[in-house]
């Protein structure tokens, strides 16, 4: 009886983590490289000419964030026009903040959009305008790459669009009034943990709730994304209190 139950549980897990094969943007690898290099340029890092160079500077929480969110930007705004093509630069890779209970300050990207994205979103079949916009502004020296940074600033005027989806996760696009300064994050838990930092943590994992698995299923662009680690310590809690993935 125990063997049967164990087998059933394993099968359920495999089904839950299965992906649906869809076509992916053929230029994603080049765009990913371009955007990570743009981040290094904004931050004035030296001798970083590829995504691999930048990734070496990122701790797991920030690496999970940029890999996961940019994977999600392969979704199309219009047919043949993935969101990633509208992103000109990445300027902030915001990871975990220990003892910080503000989800809007963690697990998101600060970006620069092509201004044409705003009009494209207004007619997109894949995104809806929504309320609750928040655009965390990037900092050139310090900020996202400083674990002790506390001077978070958000754009006072912003709009947001959320991906149309029957279930979580959903990509969220926030844009300041200049139609250029923006932010991206992914909502994994619309109801139970929506206001918790873990809501947007691609690497968060809890009992029967694997956000990496959810990401690969919702944004099914083979091959599946693999992460250096997943974190269970802060899942669905008001804040993270222990070092990420330790």
CA distance 179 to 116: 8
**In this predicted model, which residue has the larger pLDDT, 198 or 17?**
198
pLDDT score at 1: 38
CA distance 145 to 139: 9
Question: Helix-strand-coil percent breakdown of the chain, rounded to 5?
Answer: 30, 20, 50
Other CB atoms within a 10 A radius of the CB of residue 9 amount to: 10
pLDDT score at 15: 35
List CB contacts of 62: < 8 A, sequence separation 6 or more.
93, 94, 95, 144, 145
Confidence of residue 17 (pLDDT cuts 50, 70, 90): low
DSSP state of 231: B
**In this predicted model, which residue has the larger pLDDT, 27 or 203?**
203
**What is the token pair recorded at 137?**
């502004």
Is residue 177 pLDDT above 60, yes or no? yes
**Across all residues in the chain, what is the average pLDDT?**
89
**What is the token pair recorded at 25?**
């943007």
Q: Which residue has the tokens 């549980």?
A: 9
Confidence of residue 26 (pLDDT cuts 50, 70, 90): low
Is residue 240 pLDDT above 80, yes or no? yes
pLDDT in tens, 216-237: 999 999 999 999 999 999 999 9
Please say whether the beta carbons of 187 and 169 come within 8 A: yes
Is residue 23 pLDDT above 90, yes or no? no
Sign of torsion over alpha carbons 222, 227, 231, 237: negative
Nearest C-alpha neighbor of 245 from the set 207, 202, 208: 202
Pairing verdict, β 158-163 and 87-94: unpaired
pLDDT score at 21: 29
CA distance 226 to 62: 14
pLDDT in tens, 144-156: 999 999 999 999 8
**In this predicted model, which residue has the larger pLDDT, 15 or 211?**
211
> How many residues would you count in the chain?
246
Where are the chain's structural domains?
25-218
pLDDT in tens, 50-94: 999 999 999 999 999 999 999 999 999 999 999 999 999 999 999
Provide the whole-model pTM. 0.89
């Amino acid at each position: 009886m125990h063997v049967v139950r164990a087998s059933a549980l394993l099968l359920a897990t495999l089904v839950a983590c299965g992906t649906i094969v869809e076509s992916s943007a053929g230029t994603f690898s080049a765009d990913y490289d371009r955007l990570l290099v743009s981040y290094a340029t904004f931050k004035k890092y030296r001798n970083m000419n590829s995504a691999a160079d930048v990734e070496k500077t990122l701790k797991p929480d920030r690496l999970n964030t940029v890999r996961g969110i940019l994977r999600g930007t392969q979704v199309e705004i219009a047919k043949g026009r993935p969101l990633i093509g509208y992103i000109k630069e990445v300027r902030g890779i915001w990871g975990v903040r220990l003892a910080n209970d503000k989800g809007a300050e963690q697990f998101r990207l600060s970006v620069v959009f092509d201004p044409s994205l705003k009009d494209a979103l207004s007619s997109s079949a894949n995104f809806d305008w929504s309320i609750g916009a928040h655009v965390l502004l990037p900092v050139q020296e310090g900020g996202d790459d400083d674990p002790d940074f506390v001077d978070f600033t958000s754009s006072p005027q912003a709009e947001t669009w959320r991906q149309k989806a029957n279930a979580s996760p959903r990509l969220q696009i926030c844009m300041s009034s200049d139609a250029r300064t923006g932010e991206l994050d992914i909502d994994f838990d619309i109801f139970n943990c929506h206001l918790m930092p873990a809501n947007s943590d691609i690497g968060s994992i809890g009992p029967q709730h694997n956000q990496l698995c959810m990401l690969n299923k919702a944004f099914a662009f083979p091959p599946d994304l693999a992460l250096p680690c997943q974190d269970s310590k802060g899942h669905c809690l008001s804040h993270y209190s222990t070092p990420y993935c330790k």
